[in-house]
Chains A and B, each alone.
Chain A
Amino acid sequence: MKHLTEEDLVLLYYSEPEAPAHGQLHLRDCPECRGAAESLALTLNVCSEWVVPEPDAELGRSVWAQIAPQLEVQGGSHAKRHWARHLWGRPRPWLWVAPALLALLLGTFYLGRVSKRVESPVMAGLSNAARQRILAISLADHLDRAEMLLTEISNAGDSGAADISSARYRAQDMVDEGRLMRQSLAEQGDTATLALVDEVERFLLEMANSPDNANAAEVQSIRQRIDSGSLLFKVRIIESNLRTEGQKS
């Protein structure tokens, strides 16, 4: 009598159509193969005990908040399509890693200062120049994200009312982050950058407080203010300067 192979047993376990037709019959009559099948089943059944942690009920929402700014415009002929493609066309995953790092760096930096200058060992070892470079890079990232947000709003209202909820959540996060930046800029006396960060923050606050489904007029009003103050342009200039500064060694 020809015994079943391990492959036969795997196919039988999963009830694959390719499993040998005589398989079940053979298992009934052959203790050796039955033993092998039971041992295989035991191991595979153990694998089934591995359960996936229940995903967060808000998962869809958080996924949307992360991907919305990266979605390319498709179909139709948006007036700002080219610009949107330029911004969102390439995924920039580092942008979503940067805030965590930045919060960590700035958090330790400034909490250290206000709380009797007790700093983490990582930050304590840094020279002033190094700290300034970190701040410059963090600020550039902050402005980069602000720029994405402003552009998103700027593009949103083309067809009337828009769902700006994901932008709103991000704006909320960025308001807190911006506060740390402004504090440090004030200490350093960098008034030009400070004025811009202030101006950005006013938009962020306005965004953070706007309804999820802003009506066409509301979106239009925010857009006009972004366009008329050439805010995006200024953000890009300062951001680019900060990047250069951050790369100096």
Chain B
Amino acid sequence: MPQSEEITLSKVRGGDRDAFRALVDQHARTVFRLAYRMTGNETDAEDMVQETFLRAWKQIGKFDGRATFGTWLHRICTNCALDHLRLRQRRQAAQPAYHAGEDQSDPVALVAAESPSPERLAMSSQISAILGPALEELTEMERAAFILRHYEGMGIEEISVELGVQPGAAKHSVFRAVQKLRRVLEPAMANSR
């Protein structure tokens, strides 16, 4: 860990809010990117960024410095995401008539509505029009494992630590996620050709 980060962290442990604010400034955008993938929309992602930093402040005494602060924060955000996805799945189970496009938390609708027009984003919104609902088919564990593997570039071993499961379970979550995504994406890709 860089020495400057060590100094900031020891101030935070002593209750220094300014020092913590500096960490929020430094890491908020990185946490947002992960939170966005996990939730699929900006509103939930922003809530999750807040929740992540609130938990970090509360648990700072448990941070042992073996990982960097960024890695530790990443783990907290993943845990927030798991809680959030569990809750969302429970809510959706209680509302069987869920139609993509009508719900404001639907990633497809949001990305399509909010993306400006650069080509990459246009492409991205087409992709997410298919990917969003496909990701909704995954369990929270499968989604989290896939996001961490595919977008965050983490290895199976690291994912198992982050999710607090055995490596075998992490590996199977990634496999099942890939299988389910292929089942939805491949016919859609064939149709669009």
Q: Do A and B come from one complex?
A: yes
Partner-B contacts on A (CB < 8 A): 6-7, 10, 14, 16-18, 39-40, 42-44, 46-53, 55, 59-64, 66-68, 70-76, 78, 91, 93, 163
A51/B58 contact (C-beta < 8 A), A6-B179, A60-B26, A71-B17 known: no
Which candidate, B81-89, B98-106, B113-121, is the interface stretch facing chain A? B113-121
Pick the contact of B182 from A17, A43, A73, A76 — CB < 8 Å? A43
Minimum distance in angstroms from B111 CB to a CB of chain A: 7
Asked if B54 contacts A76 (CB within 8 A), the reply is no
Instruction: Return chain B residues, CB-CB under 8 Å to A70.
Output: 54
Q: Say whether A71 contacts B28, CB under 8 Å.
A: no
Given contacts A51-B120, A60-B28, contact A10 B111 (CB under 8 A): no
Q: Is the Cβ of A75 less than 8 Å from the Cβ of B54? A: no
A10 is contacted by which of B14, B26, B178 (Cβ under 8 Å)?
A: B178
Known contacts A51-B121, A67-B53; A43/B186 CB under 8 A: yes
A46, A71, A74, A76: the one within 8 Å of B189 (CB): A46
Cross-chain contact A63 with B24 (CB below 8 angstroms): yes
Could you tell me if A55 and B28 are in contact, using CB atoms closer than 8 angstroms? yes
> Can you give 25 contacting A-B residue pairs, CB < 8 Å?
A14-B149, A14-B150, A40-B182, A43-B181, A46-B131, A50-B128, A51-B124, A52-B32, A53-B114, A53-B121, A55-B32, A59-B32, A60-B24, A60-B26, A60-B28, A63-B46, A63-B53, A64-B25, A67-B57, A68-B21, A70-B54, A72-B57, A74-B15, A75-B13, A163-B17
Q: How far is the CB of A88 from chain B (nearest CB, A)?
A: 10
Does the CB pair A48–B120 fall under 8 Å?
A: no
A78 proximity list for chain B (CB < 8 A): 15
Q: Mark B159-193, 1 if CB is under 8 A from A, else 0.
A: 00000000000010011001101100110010000
Counting chain A CB atoms within 10 Å of each CB, which of B32, B123, B128, B186 scores highest? B32
Smallest Cβ distance from B132 to chain A, in angstroms?
A: 9
Residues on B close to A: CB < 8 A? 13-15, 17-18, 20-21, 24-26, 28-29, 32-33, 36-37, 42, 46-47, 49-50, 53-54, 57-58, 60-61, 111, 114-115, 120-121, 123-124, 127-128, 131, 149-151, 155-157, 171, 174-175, 178-179, 181-182, 185-186, 189
Question: What residues of B have a CB within 8 angstroms of the CB of A76 in the complex?
Answer: 14-15
Measured between beta carbons, the chain A residues less than 8 angstroms from B150 are: 14, 44, 47-48
- Alpha-carbon distance A18/B156, docked complex (angstroms): 9
Q: Distance (Å) between the CB of B9 and the closest chain A CB?
A: 12
Min CB gap A211→B, angstroms: 15
Is B17 a contact of A47 with CB atoms below 8 Å? no
CB of B45 to closest CB in A, whole Å = 8
- Residues of A close to B13: CB separation below 8 A: 74-75
User: Chain A residues near B181 (CB, 8 Å)?
Assistant: 43, 47
A40 to B177, CA, bound (A): 13
Separation of A51 and B156 alpha carbons in the complex (Å):
23
Collect the chain A residues with CB atoms within 8 Å of residue B17's CB.
68, 71, 163
List A contacts of B171 (CB < 8 A).
Answer: 18
Given A60-B25, A71-B20; A53-B57 close (CB under 8 Å): no
For B149, the chain A residues whose CB sits under 8 A away are 14
Q: A42 contacts which chain B residues (CB < 8 A)? A: 189
Q: Is the CB of A17 within 8 A of B57?
A: no
Q: Select B14's contact among A48, A59, A71, A75, beta carbons within 8 Å.
A: A75
Known A-B contacts A6-B175, A71-B54, A74-B57; the reply to A64 vs B21 at CB < 8 A is yes
Which of B29, B37, B151, B179 counts the most chain A CB atoms within 10 A?
A: B29
Contacts of A61 in B (CB 8 A): 25
Beyond A10-B178, A71-B54, A163-B17, is A63–B28 a contact (Cβ under 8 Å)? yes
Shortest Cβ gap from B52 to chain A (Å)? 9
The answer for the CA separation of A163 and B21 in the assembled complex, in Å, is 10
Inter-subunit contact A49/B124 (CB<8 Å): yes
Interface pairs A-B: 9 shortest CB-CB:
A60-B25, A75-B15, A60-B28, A55-B32, A51-B124, A55-B29, A74-B15, A49-B127, A59-B28
